[in-house]
Amino acid sequence: MSLFKAREFWSTVVHGEGGNDEECDTGCMVIANIDNADPPADKIIIGGFSGTLRVFFPQSHRTEEGEEIGGYRADHVLLETTLNYPIIKLAAGKFVSCVSEGHF
């Protein structure tokens, strides 16, 4: 008997320019409350070498029968923009005016 149940809640396929698969590295995704929503709600921020920046807010929704369903929907995309340069790394956190130990 297992105490935990794991299942896929949400996924999407990210395509770059021309429909090709987006190329990215380990630092190209961050999960954070990037827009400081109240109450706090994490968003998924993805950047790629093609310069495309995407912000997703995945949510579950209920069917007319009351069943809760997860998965990608078009309204989960909050932002999609293409910048002129590749996105090498993304980071989120508290920005401070001086550099001291413990702050990045």
For the stretch 50-70, pLDDT in tens is 899 999 998 877 778 877 777
DSSP letter string, 29-85 = EEEE-TT--SS---EEEEE-TTSEEEEE----EE-TT--EE-S--GGGEEEEEE-SS
53, part of any domain: yes
Q: Average pLDDT, stretch 42-54?
A: 91
Report d(CA 16, CA 9) in Å as an integer.
Answer: 24
Range of the domain at 55: 26-82
How many structural domains is the chain composed of? 1
pTM of the prediction? 0.73
Report d(CA 23, CA 96) in Å as an integer.
Answer: 31
Q: Average pLDDT, stretch 7-11?
A: 69
76, part of any domain: yes
